Structure 1
Amino acid sequence: MNQPTFAAEDSLPRVPLPTLADSAARFVRWCAPLLTEAELATTEAAVADVLRPGGAGVVLNDALIAYNDTPGVASWLDEFWPSRYLGRRDRIALNANFIFLFREDTPLASSAQAGQAEQAAALIGAAVDYKLALDEQRIPPVTQRGTPLSMWQNEYLFSETRIPGAVQDTVRKPYSEEWPGPSDARHIVVFYRGNIFRMDVIGPDGAPYAFDDLVDGLRAVIKGGTRPAATDTAVGHLTTKARAEWASSREALRTEPANVAAFDVIETALFTVVLEDFAPRDELHACDQLLHGDSANRYFDKSVSLLVFADGQAGINIEHCGLDGTTVLSFVDALLERSVADHAETSGARAQGLPPVEPVEFVLDSAARADIAAAGADFARYAADTATQIVSFNDFGTSDAKKLGISPDAFAQLAYQLAHRRSKGITGATYESIATRQYRGGRTEAMRVITPEMVAFVDAMLDEAVNDDDKTTAARTAAAAHVQRAKECQAGQAPEQHLWELQWIQRRRGAELGVADEQIALFDSPGWTIMRDDYLSTSSAPSQYIRYFGFGSTSPKCIGIAYVLLPDRWNIYLATPKSVAGEMRSFADHLRDAVTELRTLLAPVEA
């Protein structure tokens, strides 16, 4: 019998808390390749001040140690994650949410009939099957090399909604004090042409509706939403606003009791299904629509939104505060790897007739309508100001990298750095997300890709005086350094989140600790600001059922690089502000060349 889903949580090792001296020293090493001598000297002085006995840095770190030792605290990062994700004040639509575009030939899609309603019904039935299995803890813990990984993020998959706040957002979810245990909701929310519908997917006795029932329910939604909702009535637009502004709008709407009930339907829904009334032009268009699309037909605060286009192509949009890519990939794989009939059998789905379907309507005055229309127009402009591109290598994947004797991820990062220098003429700060779910409450660690060895590799590649043997040595040395740094991150030996949490503690508890007014030079130092000002933000999502993974850029000059690197292919989605679109396209061109060049350089010499 499989181990219960959450059985291993309390026995997992805790996230290590490095000493302040270790994090300080590692931080200096990590930022040094990006700094001038003067900038490094300034940063070193700031780091020394953080370590000063009795200084604010030590006081804050002592508070963090005490918190980590508090009974009931799973990790010293327990308060960091809400601060980082729920504390952000900009819009989450396009800036934080991420997407996957599904393959069209998955077992689930292939077993469903052709058509939008059929493909959407297949996804709904599979998701409900997963939900019921999760309720009974029949989802076995994911393992990595035989070690179980943390599964707590699964609590955020169903009936979770991010609630905007004036200072920091909150989360409405099951498995909480306010809502103990799994969600008891039996409905989802379906969007079509900006119209919102509640649709039951689980019957009164707890049995899921059969596939044909769900198809009929979705057809009823499509018929009921034939007329597009007026732009100034589509409340989904408001979820694209900066968080404090959205919080104000939501509170204004909630003065009307009918709106409180409407929000309740949306916020407690198991998940959201978005039906689009068009077929995407191509894969890039599909990814773009998954990432932003028409915000009248979205509710970006829901943890899971399954999107199905008119031609049956599908994907997912994820709200990031409680869900990372690895958890969502496991969920998506579980949905897509089995047929409609298999899911129906394990869930106990049975024919019950047409599921209840009813519109979700808000009472809106002129001020609310103006607010909604303005939010929609503003987000449309924001989305239009984002440039995207896909790059695909159908003849290269992890198998090919391994034949070259190099870590596949290191190969990818070497190619990114070479292409970036050639396209922009500089080496810039680069982020890579490293999963740390082997720890209790683990999420991700922030890896900084630029090592001295990486810089030396790019220098060698651009120096015509360097021969191929030396270039090969530089490439393999940089790859080894990359792998070593990734291992440090996986082992909880990365400096950034540790130091960043000290900054958050000062904001939260500075007055209590007597350091509210003490300026900490580290957080204004060149090392801190330059190392974290990303030119490239990278993350991978390996799944055979995913065509593309995508997210937006993180700064006005950043290129977001979301990649699916599999044994036989490598698909990349790039996103950047339109003001630097030319540089992104140059990067894409140079990336193709860099991959070809590296493959030739690293190829074994024929005997």
Structure 2
Amino acid sequence: MAEAHQAVAFQFTVTPEGIDLQLSHEALRQVYLSGLRSWKKKFARFKNSIITGVYPASPSSWLFVVITIIAAMYTRVDPSLGMIGKIKEHLPVSAYLSHQGQNIISGLLFSTILWLALIMTMRYILKQLLSYHGWMYDQHGKMSATTKLWLTLVKIFSGRKPMLYSYQASLPRLPVPHIKDTMTRYLESVRPLMNDQEFKRMTGLAKDFEVNLAPRLQWYLKLKSLWASNYVSDWWEEYIYLRGRSPLMVNSNYYAMDFLYVTPTPVQAARAGNTVHAILLYRRRLSREELKPSRVPGSIIPLCSSQWERTFNTTRIPGAETDTIQHYQDSKHIVVYHKGRFFRVWVYHGGRLLKPKELELQFQRILDDQSPPLPGEMKLAALTAGSRTFWAKTRKAYFRNGKNGQSLELVEKAAFFVTLDDSEQGLRYEDPVNSLDAYAKSLLHGKCYDRWFDKSFTFIVFKNGKIGLNAEHSWADAPIIGHLWESMLATDCFQLGYNVDGHCKGEADPMLPAPQRMQWEITAECQEAIDSSLQEAQTLADDVDFHTFPFKDFGKGLIKKCRTSPDAFIQIALQLAHYRDKGKFCLTYEASMTRLFREGRTETVRSCTVESSNFVKAMMNCNDTDEQRLKLFKTAAEKHQLLYRNAMTGVGIDRHLFCLYVVSKYLGKDSPFLKEVLSEPWRLSTSQTPIQQVELFDLMNHPEYVSCGGGFGPVADDGYGVSYIIVGEDLINFHVSCKHSSPETNAHRFGAHIQKALLDILALFKLDKKDLKK
């Protein structure tokens, strides 16, 4: 085999004259270049750690301080107020130095101490500034004098040219809310969901918990908040994600879609070549920390960037009771799945990244390979789609050693997983509804055996050139993948591009080693385990009802003319749609980020409020006037904005209650209140997909390059999952999921209710016809 020949660095033969060594210069050259690249990465990582470690100062500022102090000493001025003299007296090597040498060393030490003290002071001031969140509560479009002064100070102390992780040490810790405040907010949030008798009972449970058990649990949380970087995130990752035993597919993993209207090339290998190269360019920028620090959109306020660390070279490893996340510092290959075969593809050659044309050549070689799958190989990945405990036992029994162990290690160490799908997906104008629904389901679960659901993400390229992605959720939240996705799409279309024939630009090195078929030895017992997982996954996938649709009647532009937050407008519309769909209110989850704090992840905005339910009731009551409904809507929108801001600033409800519950379990204390709260189902789970890099897409001149966003499966068996993305000024894309097995839900019916609710709310504002023009 060609790849085996390339892998041999030298050969030898035994002759009567002795041993004759035949060195392969090309193989040795590749070894040298690979080692050189590795050392360059280590040096870059070391350099970045120094630059980030002294931020908001810079290493060059140390030299400036040293020169200034030494120069002052030579002018017979003591800037240290006697401290340099004290250092000089206690120098352990003073006997070996001249008088001038002692002065220089003492001045150097004092300069370094002064420089470090200035860095710590600047960091402390910046951390205190970033702990202030009053700016979020300013009226939209009106900035208070306090906020203007605060922003000026933040800008002064934020430093220049920050790297991706430069602000990490300056971010404040997530505060632990007061028990009384959390109890008050919780009871307020469930009031519209309960009758008077139920609410009275819940109020009694809450008061009993607040007085008796909560203070003890709170003490432990405050202790943890002083010790840990974030009192929530590690427990959230472990207990919400890694200890979950149900399949990742549908239940946890989520997906991202390609452009809605544009497919840059119909050539599958070419699209794979460009997009994989774009992803690898992003990985290189990430490893060099060249990505800009994450910030609050449209501001200079930094957000935590820690979640980016595990984007690549990461796999979730199944365990009997809990999974673990395995992250590798580097990976030189990807694993590609096509028609039941697994291939390893090197992404470096000669110490450099493969070019798009070279990657296209590699993918085309895989597409042209007609070799059949090995026994059991085709549906092997179904193990990652089934129960976690079953997969852990199967992995331990059949994938620890030999070919299976080696091949599994290649998958888990890969930069990411790639599927060259043999189906065609995307928007078809002759059947837009069913085509988008099928596209969503394909990305969410595929055939249940053609995605590796344990990898940080599986990148999917369809036969007609359409692309998509399926992401594992435990290592990071959707905005992290969204940032990668935006960068990849923009690089693919606007930087790399394609030839007129749809192929990648440039030339390919014909001497590239071919992709390597991975070897498996799947026994009959192992095949039975694979089939069992596949049956479980297939049952789960078949039960998913999905509806993806673009809402084109109006978008963010018109909502802003209503002087309303677009997110609040949509969330209240979802409440109205749900009531029309089911005839009742339900506990509603909207994801909000807490990345204003170090290692922050998410918090819940409980979107079903007393105010929103009052508005919905008014919309359902024919006796109420539009003026009354509009007034109630504005009140509900203001309440939603307040809840969203509370969630972002660390005074939400659910993460605090979750951590109190974890502490109670550690202490062996049962709480009827916490048990009931944590078991309440989220029958409407919602999330907005933010566009973070608007500068990458010129939607004014190229309106066809709009993203379709992404979605996720239903959280409750009798509930809905709704994801939406606000694209430009005139488009909102929705992704609605539920289960066929529930007689209460229907994705298409709920989608129709959403569209009607949006239009009905807009009609309340009675905008002029000129405002309604696109």
Report the TM-score when normalising by structure 1. 0.90
Unaligned runs of 5+ in 1: 175-182, 511-515
Assess, with a 3 A threshold, how the Cα gap between structure 1 residues 18 and 305 changes in structure 2: closer, same or farther: same
How far apart, in 2, do the equivalents of 1:339 and 1:313 lie? Answer: 12
* 2:220 aligned residue (52, 60, 63): 63
Structure 2 counterpart of 1:580: 742
Q: Residues 422 and 60 (structure 1 numbering): CA distance in 2 closer, same or farther, change over 3 Å?
A: same
Give distance in 1, aligned partners of 2:622 and 2:611.
Answer: 18
Q: CA separation in 2, counterparts of 1:441 and 1:295?
A: 33
| 1:262-301 aligned within 5 A | 262-280=407-425, 282-301=435-454
Aligned to 2:314: 160
Residues 203 and 352 in structure 1, CA contact (< 8 A), matched pair in contact too: no
Judge which range, 288-297 or 252-261, deviates more.
Answer: 252-261
2:709 matches 1:548 = yes
Q: For 1:222-241, list aligned pairs within 5 A.
A: 222-224=367-369, 227=372, 233-241=378-386
Q: 1: CA distance between counterparts of 2:402 and 2:373?
A: 25
User: Residues 120-156 of structure 1, C-alpha deviation per residue, up to 9 Å, x if partnerless?
Assistant: 1111101110111111111111221211211111112
Q: Which residue of 1 aligns with 2:154?
A: none
Q: CA deviation at 1:59?
A: 2.4
Q: TM-score, normalised by structure 2?
A: 0.71
Aligned to 1:327: 480
Q: Displacement, 1:546?
A: 2.2
How far off is 1:493 after superposition? Answer: 0.8
CA distance in 1, matches of 2:220, 2:311: 33
- 2:443/2:469 contact within 8 Å kept: yes
Specify the SS of the correspondent of 2:449: helix
What is the one-letter code of the residue matched to 2:479? Answer: T
Contact 1:80 1:504 in 2 (8 A): no
Alignment of 1:35 onto 2:194: yes
Shift of 1:340: 6.8
1:596 is the counterpart of 2:752: no
TM-aligned CA distance change 1:563 to 1:501, over 3 Å? same
CA distance in structure 2 between the partners assigned to 1:458 and 1:320 by the alignment: 33
Shift of 1:283: 2.0
Report the equivalent of 1:420: 578
Aligned partner of 1:317: which letter?
N
3-state SS of paired residue (2:685): strand
Distance 1:59 1:352 in 2: 67
Work out the CA distance in 2 between the residues paired with 1:130 and 1:39. Answer: 52
How many residue pairs get matched? 577
Write out aligned runs for 1:167-186 (5 A): 167-174=321-328, 183-186=329-332
Tell me the distance in 1 between the aligned counterparts of 2:232 and 2:446: 38
Q: CA distance change for structure 1 residues 76 and 551 in 2, over 3 Å: closer, same or farther?
A: closer
- For residue 81 of structure 1, the aligned residue among 237, 248, 252 is 237
In 2: Cα distance, 1:427 partner to 1:341 partner: 46
Cα contact 1:214–1:355 (8 A) shared by 2 = no
The 3-state SS of whatever aligns with 1:563 is strand
- SS of 1:461's partner is helix
1:193 to 2:339 alignment: yes
CA pair 227-548 structure 1, distance change in 2 beyond 3 A? farther
Tell me if the contact between 1:129 and 1:343 (Cα under 8 Å) persists in the aligned partners. Answer: no
1:587 offset after TM fit, Å? Answer: 1.9
Larger radius of gyration: 2
Opposite residue 60 of structure 1, the aligned amino acid is L
- RMSD, aligned α-carbons: 2.2
Q: Does structure 2 conserve the Cα–Cα contact (< 8 Å) formed by 1:195 and 1:234? A: no
Aligned counterpart for 2:305 among listed residues 138, 145, 151: 151
Could you list the per-position Cα deviations for residues 190-223 of structure 1 after superposition, in whole angstroms to 9, with x for gaps in the alignment? 1111211110112252x10111110111112222
- Counterpart of 2:390, as a letter, is E
1:135 to 273, 287, 291: 287
Are 2:513 and 1:362 equivalent residues in the alignment? no
Correspondence list, 1:496-507, <5 A: 496-507=654-665
Secondary structure of 2:345's counterpart equals strand
**1:124 counterpart (243, 265, 276):** 276
Distance change (3 Å), C-alpha of 1:262 and 1:339: closer
Partner of 2:206: 47
Matched, 1:519 2:670: yes
What whole-Å deviation, never above 9, does each CA across 1:210-262 have from its counterpart, x for those lacking one? 11110111112222366466667532000011211211111112343322211
Q: Percent identity?
A: 27
How far apart in 2 are the matches of 1:114 and 1:589?
Answer: 32
| Structure 2 residue runs without a partner (length 5+) | 1-159, 429-434, 498-505, 692-696, 698-705
Q: 1:340-386 CA distances to partner (integer Å, 9 max, x unpaired)?
A: 79469xxxx99544354112232221110111012112211211111
**Higher RCO, 1 or 2 (CA under 8 Å, sep at least 6)?**
1
In the superposition, relative to structure 1, how do residues 126 and 563 fare at CA in structure 2: closer, same or farther (>3 Å)?
Answer: same
Q: Secondary structure at the match of 1:199?
A: strand
User: Does the CA-based 8 Å contact 1:91-1:243 persist in structure 2?
Assistant: yes
The Cα of 1:550 is off from its aligned counterpart by 1.1
Confirm or deny: 8 A CA contact 1:64 1:76 kept in the other structure: no
Q: State how far apart, in whole Å, the 2-side matches of 1:126 and 1:306 are.
A: 12
Q: Which of 489, 504, 507 is the matching residue for 2:647?
A: 489
Query: How far 1:285 sits from its partner (Å)?
Result: 1.1
Partner SS for 1:323: coil
